[in-house]
């Protein structure tokens, strides 16, 4: 499991074994809440006609998006470890050419936009709380040296959390204003995901798992980096 599935007193965190982050069900009644992070300026201002969970293929196109295909999976959980059913998980990110699906970004960069990348997708969780997307491995963006995927979770008319997923071990993370603005060492761990070579997939594809533990509201977001991408 991702670090987002464990909760312990912070003063004891550094002494915990790495097994706490990898053993399913361990201390499942004490989950760390996923930190809220800035939505950024480029949540799509006009949604694509295709908003499914496969961002690689747009509509009926036969041409896939440019980039390294990534299978992103995870669960939406309560702080007590219960799966959240009927939660709508949304993701959005820039394409491999560093262009977001937003007119303030896509219009000035019209010549470089990847027209085959969906840029935004949705998935509704079932009883297990699981979600899954096929997208591209995120790339750095001007002003954001940490590649990232934006995530928002909604249920009904309520927004439950907005956060970002970043690549564990990426060299640019420490130079990124949003990542470095997260002062708490545990919260930093909770926004990182391991991107690994995908098993049982085509060569060159990646997989990443990121559990989302609800608890913090949008009003409790960290103040740093609110308008960064």
Question: 109-124: per-residue pLDDT in tens?
Answer: 999 999 999 999 999 9
For residue 20, the model assigns a pLDDT of 44
Question: 208-225: per-residue pLDDT in tens?
Answer: 999 999 984 444 444 444
| The pTM of the whole model exceeds 0.85 | no
Give me the mean pLDDT over the 1-25 stretch.
Answer: 45
Q: Are strands 158-167 and 148-155 parallel, antiparallel or unpaired?
A: antiparallel
| Domain annotation covers residue 24 | yes
Confidence of residue 5 (pLDDT cuts 50, 70, 90): low
| Domain annotation covers residue 227 | no
CATH number assigned to the domain comprising residue 138: 2.60.130.10
| Domain annotation covers residue 222 | no
| Domain annotation covers residue 223 | no
| Domain annotation covers residue 40 | yes
| Domain annotation covers residue 179 | yes
| Domain annotation covers residue 229 | no
| Res. 106: pLDDT tops 50 | yes
Residues 6+ apart with CB under 8 A from 121: 51, 52, 53, 54, 55, 90, 91, 92, 133, 135
Phi, psi of 18 (to 5 degrees): -60, -20
Q: Which domain holds residue 141?
A: 3-217
State whether the Cα torsion 229-225-196-8 is positive or negative.
negative
Number of domains in the chain: 1
DSSP-derived secondary structure for 136-170: E----BTTB-S-EEEEEEEETTEEEEEEEEEETT-
| Domain annotation covers residue 205 | yes
């Amino acid at each position: 499991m991702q670090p987002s599935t464990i909760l312990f007193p912070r003063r004891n965190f550094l002494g915990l074994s790495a097994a706490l982050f990898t053993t399913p069900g361990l201390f499942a009644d004490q989950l760390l809440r996923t930190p809220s992070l800035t939505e950024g300026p480029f949540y799509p201002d006009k949604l694509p006609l295709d908003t499914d969970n496969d961002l690689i293929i747009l509509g009926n196109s036969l041409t896939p998006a440019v980039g390294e295909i990534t299978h992103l999976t995870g669960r939406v959980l309560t702080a007590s470890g219960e799966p959240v059913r009927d939660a709508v998980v949304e993701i959005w990110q820039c394409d491999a050419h560093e262009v977001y699906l937003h007119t303030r970004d896509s219009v000035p960069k019209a010549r470089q936009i990847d027209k085959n990348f969906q840029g935004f997708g949705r998935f509704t969780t079932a009883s297990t709380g699981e979600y899954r997307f096929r997208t591209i491995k995120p790339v750095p963006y001007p002003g954001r040296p940490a590649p990232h995927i934006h995530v928002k979770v909604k249920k009904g008319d309520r927004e439950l959390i907005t956060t970002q997923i970043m690549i564990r071990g990426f060299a640019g993370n420490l130079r990124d204003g949003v990542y470095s603005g997260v002062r708490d060492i545990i919260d930093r761990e909770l926004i990182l995901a391991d991107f690994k070579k995908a098993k049982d997939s085509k060569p060159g594809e990646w997989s990443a798992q990121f559990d989302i533990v609800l608890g913090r509201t949008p009003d409790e977001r960290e103040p740093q980096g609110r308008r960064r991408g």
